[in-house]
Amino acid sequence: MTDQTQLIPGNTLLTNSPEEGRALAVKMARLIIKITQPDAEMREKLRPKYANDAAMLIAIGQTVAMEFATIAKANDYWKEEVK
């Protein structure tokens, strides 16, 4: 079973839209957890702790906000996008 961790899907911060950029932020945040805790079984065991604890849900939101700030800037805030 190979488990080739990739930190940034597609190896680029550029996305077609804010929505895609936001999804990338979520993925990047998750991949850091994956390389820090590579054991899939343990991650599965920890998952309910994230999802059922208000403080952790907020902390995850902060992490995504940080990643998204970088991605949004990389894409010049998608100002040229058709709305």
Question: Rule CB under 8 A: which residues touch a second copy?
Answer: 6-8, 10-14, 17-19, 22-23, 26, 28-29, 32-33, 35-37, 39, 42, 46, 49-70, 72-74, 77-79, 81, 83
Taking the CA atoms of the chain, what radius of gyration do you get in angstroms? 15
Rounded to 10°, the helix 40-51/54-74 angle is 100
Nearer to a second copy, 1 or 55 (CB): 55
Nearer to a second copy, 2 or 11 (CB): 11
Tokens of 18: 């804010």
